[in-house]
Every structure is written in C-alpha cells, then in structure tokens.
Structure 1
Amino acid sequence: MVHLAEQHFGTFNNEPVRKFTWSTDTGFSVSVISYGAIIQSIKVPAKNGEIKDVVLGFDTIEDYVTKNARFFGSTIGRCANRIRGGTFQLDGVTYQLAKNNGENHLHGGIVGFNKVNWNSTVDGTKVIFSYYSKDGEEGYPGDMIANVIYEVVDNSLLVEFLAVTHKKTIINMTNHSYFNLAGHDAGADGLYDHIITVNADRVTETSADNIPTGRLLKVGGTPFDLRAPVRLGDVLVLHERLFDHNFCVSPTGEELNFVSRVVHPSSGRYLQVYSNQPGVQVYTSYFLPAPQDQPIVGKQGTPYHRHAAFCLETQVYPDAVNHPHFPTVILKPGDVYRHKVRYEFGVTN
C-alpha cells in the first residue's frame, strides 16, 4: 500500500514550496519538493531492516536555494549536460545560450529548471509538476510547457518528463540525484564498496572540458567496461576523476531498457535503473569539495565531500544538437518530448 502526504516546505519568491512524500508498508519512502522539482529524500530498508536516506540533499528550502550549486536531486532542463560554446543552429539560425561552465553551457544555464518553483497538482498517487518556460529563456527558442510526473509503485520511483513547444527547439531533461546506498552520510568509504554494472558497450569520447568529440569509443579493455560488475573503489583508486561520462545504453528491446544495477553488499541495498533514453551520465561526484576543502553541509549537518555519491543521469548524449549522427534533442511543434525512467530499489539476500 502506498500513502501520499503533503507538507509545507517554506517559501521561494513569496510562493509556497510544497513537499510530497510517498510511504509504503515496507518502510520505503520518497519525498519531492516543488522547488526545482527536486527529489529531496529516498529512504530504503537494508537487509537487517535499518532504514537509510540514500540521496544527498538539504533539510530546508533556504539551503536548496543558496547551497545547491551541484544540483542535488534536481530536475535539469531545458538541456542536461554540456553544449559546446553554448551555441547551436536550427534551420540556419544561430542561438547563443548562457555560458555557465567556462565557455560552455551546462544543465540549462544560469537559471535552469532546477532554480524555479514548479506548479504542482496531485492525481491519485501521482504528483505532476509543470513549468512554463518562455521563448528566449536562457537563450533557448520557443515557448515550452514542461512537466515532471512522479509516482511510487511498490519499491520503485517512476519519473516521466514531458514537454511541448510552439517553436522548434531543443530539450534533454534528466534528474540529477546523488545516490549512496550506504546512506547519504556514508561518504567516500561507503561509495567505494558499491558494485556497479552499466548496460553499455560504448561511451562518447570527450575533450579536456568534457565536450563530446563526436566519436563513440568501445569500452572493452578500458576502465569504462562496466558490463560485468565492478567495485567502484577498485576503479577510483586508479582513476580518481572517473566517472563523469556518457555511456551509450545498449537496447534490450523493452519499452524501458535496462540501464544499470548498483549494489551495496554490506547493507544489501540495490538500485536498478530502466529508461527509454539512449544514454546515461555516470558520475561519481569528483567535483564535490576535496577532503581537505570546506565541505558542502547537507542533511543533518552532514559534510559532503568528493566521491560521496554516484549519479545515473539518463539522457540523450551531451552536445547532441552539434553532432547530427547522435540521437536528436530537437523538439518540433506538435510533437511531445517523453522521457521515462524507473528507479527500482530492493535488498539482496
């Protein structure tokens, strides 16, 4: 049985921020907030029954507004990941986006979908967030209506991203949750013990500033070969900056392709991800503060440092609009952008 409750989570720009929490009889629960359409908490029982919150984040709206430069739990849009030079062309017209990652555009710009308070409605056990993005916002063409639909079924969180536009534009939404199945407060020691599998035989090659070159590289014989289970610590001790790469998901013939399985053996908690998107950004939070630096202070005063968590951001490939042979991010009037992802949690025996 799934129960859905609503709470007040403060205010943003004099508007109420709403918090919605699903809870199940097994102890599994998920909380989302209307600001940034953010996943604020996911609590999962271990094999010994201990319940832990397994996503990084904050306890107050003030902290999300002032501290969330690393996008904890955020809905990302219009376009996730990087766009080279912050520029692209559609039908011969050049569009200049905000440059907020050196000379490049990242995660929707300076004020992306993660920094607005979404309208919210409840439909049974679904929460539907909606946002009207105006033509020219952050440089993107077209008036756009975007939706994020959250629902909990059994021990799974289902997310659907939808968008329509009145003018040809680009769209590549995702969720940027940081997971640590040992608990959000377990840090790098907890992360290193995770065992990861990713259903991908290629990655997008990138330049020094993480922009795709256009080449797709086979993972065989490289640290990117996660087709068989790999302990994260065994990879990260040799390659500290791995991972922050787009993996090209191998199709399985299902509506939602199997993307990844991550297991934390000592707690027994696991996460399996399924999606209809062609790629997934695997990221192990290298760009959180180094151990010797001032941490980001998160929930319950927890210090978040480098390698505190992993991300599995289902998406179209980065900078796809500038690589015609990549899957497309172009959305035309009359078409509907639809991105589905399922986060399935459980425990091993």
Structure 2
Amino acid sequence: MITIVEDIFGIATNPFTERAQVVRRYTISNSSHLAVRIIQLGATIQSITCMDAYHNIDDIVLGFDDIAGYEAHRSRRFGCMLGRVSDWVANGEFMMDRRKVRVTKNWNNKHQMDGGFIGFDRIIWDLHTILPDGITLCHQSEHEHEGYPGNLMVLLHFTMDDDNRFFMRIEARTDQTTPVNISNHCYFNLAGQKAGRKGILEHRLVIDANDTIETNDDNMPTGRFVSVSNTAYDMRVPAFIGDRLRQFENKPVSGFDVCYAIDKDFDASVLHFVGRFLHPESGRYMEIHSNQPGMRFETANKFPDDTRDEEPIMGKRCARYYQHSGFSIQLEKFPDTMNNLDFPTAFIMPSELYFNETIFKFGVQESWKCCATQEELDKIGADIVRYT
C-alpha cells in the first residue's frame, strides 16, 4: 500500500516574483519501509529511506534539513531537477532551424551549465496532482527564459510500488521547436548519508556502458566516444569504487566525473539496464533502468577535502560531507548534444512529447552472498535476493 503525506518544509524566495513562498514536502512510502521525500524547491529528492540486511532503516541521499542548507549549497545541486537543458551548452549557443540560438552563460561567462542562472533547480514547482501511488509536479518555462525558444510545459511524475521501485517520469511539450534535456542530480551513499568517504569506498558497482563521452581541455564534449576498455572507467564487471578511486590519485581530477554512453542509438521507448550499486556491508543495493542514452557519474570530487582541513558541508542530522562522501547520477541526453550532430537529438517540436523515464529498484542482498563468486552464485540459482 502506498501512502502520501504532505507537510511544510520551509519558506523560500520565488525567483520570478521575488516574494517569499511556502515550500511543501511530499513523502511517498510503501509497505516495505521505502520512503521518498520530495520538496517543491527544485523538485528536490530530499530523502530516501530504506532498510538494510539487518532491518536498520537509514537515509541514503545526501541533503539538508532546511531550505537554508539547499540555498547555501545551491551550486552543488543536491537532489534537484536540472533543465531546461542539463549539463553543458558549449559557448552558450547552438544552431536550430538554420539560425543561431544564444542562451545565457552562467559558467565563467563562457558556457551554460544546467539550464542557466535560474534553472529548474531554483524553481518552486507547483503541485499538479496527488496520485494513488505518488505525486505530479508541474512548471511552465516561459518563451525566451534563459534564452530558450518556446513555452515549455513540464510534468514530473514521482511514483512508487510495493516492490521497492521508485519511478521518475518526466514529460514536456512545447509550442515551438526547442531543446529539452531534463535530469535529476542526487548524491547517494547506500551505507547511509552520514557514512562519508569510508562508506562510498566500500561500494561495489556495475555500469553497463562500453564507452564514455570524450571531452577536451575545457571539459566540453568533442563529439567522439572513448572505449572504457583498460581504463578506470570500465565498470562492466563488478568493481569497488575504492579500488578505482585510487587510480585517480595525483591526477587533475580526483575521481569520476564522466558521462557514460548507455545507448548511443537512443530509443525513448526502450528501457535499458544502466547499473547496479551495492554496499556489501549493509546489503543495500540500487538498480537503475532508464530510457535515456547517457549517465553522468561523479564522486563528489569538489566537496571539501578533509586532508587539507577544509570545513565540511553540514548536511542532514549534522552529517559532515567531505570529498567522496557520495556519488551523483544524472540520467540524460549526452552533454552539449545540440552542438554534436552524431549525438541523439535533444530537439522536440510542438507535435512531439519529451519523455524521460528512470526506475530505481531498491533491495537487500544477504551479506554472505555479496562475497560469493559468480560461480558460487550460479550454483545457488536465480533466487539470490531477499527483499524487505
């Protein structure tokens, strides 16, 4: 049975009216002790709580207990929606319908990142509908906002079932041809949001991608793909984050910050297995399926560095977030896709529906099976997962 509870999370300034506005929180929970909390500010996933193998319930999403925390650390985009176009727009421009479209440049006055100065992360989303199994939030992005053509109506459907699946479906329609690439940016730590770097290093990952997006010295996509073979980015077989992060020591980037090419051909009607994220000590795992072609994966590299005595980000329940305290996931079109003709298109026309679907499946794997070899698991058979 799915329940939805509404409460008041705080008060924030509406960036369009510049007036104070109440921000509500919606808690969606099921009979298996999975609960997802979403606040209207940025349509942010503020919390996901679930059970581990020992029946302990913990929050596995990094974030804050109040509006002030999200406002103070807005640039890190904790748990929020990104758009109209998430990730990069190189030089803040692209060609469309034989004309050059210029959008705002909120990154060093050179590029646009994650939708501009007032992206979807800063918007106080309206409640559209309370569903039997979740909620729908909505927002109309006006013509020429941040430079984008067309009025864009966006619906965000957050739903859940009793099989511990959390569904995030994004729909959008426009009255003019325009690019759309909306994604969510959550920081996860399946050991618990207070577990820090140690908990992240214990994670075991599988990411089903043969290639990553190549970038230049300015971190902009070149339009080419790079094979993950024989690199630290090859996660096609289970690997520990800790082992891979050691390969980034003394490098310009201290961890993962890469877009994986999950589906280079891209068919929005097809859901692909993206990856499996497991914390063996607690037994918690998260499996992801999505119809999006890319997944940006990052390991909180720019969080404060405790080895340099930098002050931590103070999160929920006095958690201290340092470098590598979580990993972030964005299911999206490839970055700067409008300027790379070989990438799947981000443009939609008035006759088209933009549809982005991601399914997060949460479960528990018995701890002794986390250490078993694949041969041993094959002998046991298919029934290797126990849900709570």
Structure 2 residue identity aligned to 1:21? T
How far apart are the structure 1 equivalents of 2:132 and 2:49?
22
1:244 aligns with 2:253: no
Match of 1:106 in 2: 113
How far apart are the structure 2 equivalents of 1:97 and 1:185?
38
1:341 aligns with 2:354: no
Indicate the SS of the match to 2:76. Answer: coil
- 1:1-349 map, 5 Å: 1-13=1-13, 14-102=20-108, 103-120=110-127, 121-154=129-162, 155-240=164-249, 241-250=254-263, 255-291=270-306, 292-349=309-366
How far apart are the structure 2 equivalents of 1:138 and 1:289?
30
Indicate the SS of the match to 1:220. Answer: coil
How far apart are the structure 2 equivalents of 1:246 and 1:119?
31
Q: CA deviation at 1:69?
A: 1.8
Moved more, 19-28 or 316-325: 19-28
Q: CA deviation at 1:252?
A: 11
Indicate the SS of the match to 2:158. Answer: strand
Q: CA deviation at 1:273?
A: 0.5
Cα deviations across residues 276-295 of structure 1 (Å, max 9, x unaligned)? 01111111111222223222
Q: CA deviation at 1:168?
A: 0.9
How far apart are the structure 2 equivalents of 1:125 and 1:9?
21
How far apart are the structure 1 equivalents of 2:305 and 2:349?
43
Structure 1 residue identity aligned to 2:297? V
Structure 2 residue identity aligned to 1:8? I
Report the aligned-residue RMSD: 1.5
Q: CA deviation at 1:67?
A: 2.4
Indicate the SS of the match to 1:117. Answer: coil
Structure 2 residue identity aligned to 1:51? I
Cα deviations across residues 35-78 of structure 1 (Å, max 9, x unaligned)? 11110000011100111100011111232223232011001111
How far apart are the structure 2 equivalents of 1:189 and 1:290?
14
Indicate the SS of the match to 1:101. Answer: coil
In structure 2, the gaps of 5 or more residues are: 14-19, 367-388
How far apart are the structure 2 equivalents of 1:125 and 1:262?
25
Q: CA deviation at 1:313?
A: 1.0
Indicate the SS of the match to 1:138. Answer: helix
Q: CA deviation at 1:98?
A: 1.9
In structure 1, the gaps of 5 or more residues are: none
List structure 1 runs of 4+ shifted beyond 6 angstroms.
251-254
Indicate the SS of the match to 1:129. Answer: strand
Match of 2:373 in 1: none
How far apart are the structure 2 equivalents of 1:252 and 1:133?
26
Indicate the SS of the match to 1:175. Answer: strand
Indicate the SS of the match to 1:177. Answer: strand
Aligned length: 349
1:252–1:258 Cα contact (<8 Å) kept? no
| Identity across the alignment (%) | 34
Cα deviations across residues 94-151 of structure 1 (Å, max 9, x unaligned)? 2222222232111111110010101112122221110011111111111111111100
Cα deviations across residues 137-191 of structure 1 (Å, max 9, x unaligned)? 1111111111111001121110001111111111101110000000111111110
How far apart are the structure 1 equivalents of 2:202 and 2:142?
44
Indicate the SS of the match to 2:292. Answer: coil
How far apart are the structure 2 equivalents of 1:221 and 1:255?
29
TM-score by length of 2: 0.87
Q: Which structure's CA Rg is the greater one?
A: 2
How far apart are the structure 1 equivalents of 2:124 and 2:266?
36
- Structure in which a larger fraction of residues adopt strand: 1
Structure 1 residue identity aligned to 2:349? K
TM-score by length of 1: 0.96
1:286–1:306 Cα contact (<8 Å) kept? yes
How far apart are the structure 1 equivalents of 2:93 and 2:195?
39
How far apart are the structure 1 equivalents of 2:25 and 2:283?
29
How far apart are the structure 1 equivalents of 2:270 and 2:94?
30
Indicate the SS of the match to 2:281. Answer: coil
Structure 2 residue identity aligned to 1:152? M
Structure 1 residue identity aligned to 2:260? F
How far apart are the structure 2 equivalents of 1:252 and 1:67?
34
